Amino acid sequence: MSERLEPGDIAPAFTLPDADGNEVSLASHKGRKVIVYFYPAALTPGCTKQACDFTDNLAVLAQAGYDVIGVSPDKPEKLAKFREQENLKVTLVGDPSKEVLAAYGAFGEKKLYGKTVTGVIRSTVVVDEDGKVERAFYNVKATGHVAKIIKDLGI
């Protein structure tokens, strides 16, 4: 089981390919706050709802100084299909090795339909301008989560 991050921790650095195969790194967002959210799989109902919620609220979040990066174990080709099919505006990156997911505590044992399985734990980590964890939410629900983040951040 990977360690969960706590406020004040240094956010693990990462560089991952986006839907177009371009590298996206946390370091390139230094000086801005970043909402990094982790989801199990592109093109699934819950993950689609969550990605659409982030897309619908992107302008509000950006105006408040937040960038948004969605991380899943998907390959860039699947992320591109997801982005096109759902008209998503959020930056989506793939972590097929699951190393970044694990570093953020977003991969490990979880309950799924009453069974214990190993997989992506739907999570969101808010990183401040200096690269430190401001907030960390684990085992979040896809529906209503973006509204909760906006409320919790006072946006």
Tokens 């819950």 identify what position? 46
Tell me the whole-structure pTM to 2 decimals: 0.94
Contacts of 147 (CB under 8 A, 6+ apart): 53, 57
- pLDDT at position 111, please? 79
47 among known catalytic residues: yes
The residue from 19, 24, 47, 68 that is catalytic is 47
The pLDDT value recorded for residue 4 is 92
Q: Under the phi-then-psi rule, with left for phi > 0, alpha for psi from -120 to 50, and beta for the rest, what region is 111? A: beta
Q: How sure is the predictor about 104, in pLDDT bands with cuts at 50, 70 and 90?
A: very high
**Sign, Cα dihedral of 71, 118, 141, 131:** negative
Tokens describing residue 82: 């997801």
pLDDT tier at 113, thresholds 50, 70, 90: confident
**Can you give the pLDDT at residue 1?**
46
* In the chain, % of residues over pLDDT 90: 85
